[in-house]
Amino acid sequence: MKRFRTAFTIIPAISLAASLIGAPLASAALPANSSDYITAAAATTAAKKITLKVNGNSHLTESAPFISQNSVYMPLREVGELLGAMVSWNAAAKTVTMSYPGHLITLKVGSTEAINNGKKIKLLTPLQVIKGHVYVPLRFFSESIGASVTWKQAENTVGINQKVIYQTGGSMQSGAVWIDPATGNLYTALGKSDIPKPAGKLNIDPELSGYWGISTKVIGTNGLMVTVLFNYGEPGIQYRSHAAYIKDNKLVKQATAQYYQRYEPNIVAMNNNPLLTDGKTLSLLDSSGATLEEYDLPKLGGKDEVYAVLGMGQGYLIIRPNKTGLLTLVDLKTGTATLLYKQFLSTAEQEYAEMNDIPYHGDELAFTGETSKGVLSFSYRSALDGKSYTYSYSLNKA
């Protein structure tokens, strides 16, 4: 059994490599009962199923494309996901917003115009809504983001192609990112009304093939932490974590950490101060990206290993050495390191944590937060009895 504890969504690179614009978009679908928006003309569905090919790869959409008013209509949400766009629906204004590097596009139900970066785009046929799903004419994608689109009537096949295939993460509400995996070029948008802009270049290896996971966290004013997880190797036991601090849409600092078998997301902020680690050094930054403090993790943890940083507060760190895997509390005032499994677990559980190597060495303790000032909370699921436990540790005890 492979244990993989992560806050990321891991996305097959091969499926994302078939994308042109966008990112996940459950919010773009309309309520199922929005029958008042249904356009009669849109009920004219081609007798023969329309095939969609994105960069040469065939895709079956849940909401079927159709032909209306001599135009091929595509489901905006699903095609947007394939192409890498982030799409949101404004129910009050009956408008859809689509974001893509260099583009912020707004469409209104029933209108034959779209607004791209403040400029009007004329559509031959209007946006339509069928059974709660937004549809746009095929040519919209070429006219809005420059994708190459084709319609082969004899084969009932739509083709959409784009030169850059972006990996995406976050959201327009919580900070959105687009990454070109071939170059590491990064685009960001801090709000839903922002045009995604170039922010810098991530130090990623374009030769690696595997699975991507991307998360974002807004920090303070116009600050954004971006974490890119790359899971690779056979059988998926290598983890490379890239973290970057973005300020005012500019990449200020970044770090890369490499983990083996076991991966847990590093914390990225403490009290609105960004945190970056390469597994050996933890850097505490100010809002501008300047280094306030650096921590030598092997020295503090007592093991010459790479570390995951799982918690930080006033005067303490929670870290885990990757190889030995035993959760460690560091008192930053005294430099004392405490192995937490010795504090909480039975003799049999301690022996299991020390000796077991399936799927990796170490304990299964997890830091769950500071419940009150100086009192830390932890959870544990036993491999011996299958039960779950909670523990607390007071930093103030002698």
Give the pLDDT band of residue 306 (cuts 50, 70, 90). very high
d(CA 349, CA 386) in angstroms, rounded, equals 12
d(CA 172, CA 374) in angstroms, rounded, equals 36
The mean pLDDT value of the chain amounts to 86
Query: What per-residue confidence (pLDDT) applies to 393?
Result: 97
Query: What per-residue confidence (pLDDT) applies to 322?
Result: 98
Domain map (residue ranges) of the chain: 18-161, 168-265
Residue range 218-224: mean pLDDT, rounded: 94
Determine whether domain 18-161 maps to CATH 3.30.1380.10: no
Asked whether residue 20 carries a pLDDT value surpassing 50, the answer given is no
Give the pLDDT band of residue 282 (cuts 50, 70, 90). very high
Give the pLDDT band of residue 34 (cuts 50, 70, 90). very low
Residue 310's closest CA among 370, 253, 251? 370
Dump the DSSP string for 305-371.
S-EEEEEEETTEEEEEETTT---EEEETTTTEEEEHHHHHS-HHHHHHHHH--SS-SS---EEEEEE
Total residues found in the chain within this entry: 398
Asked whether residue 33 carries a pLDDT value surpassing 50, the answer given is no
pTM over 0.85: no
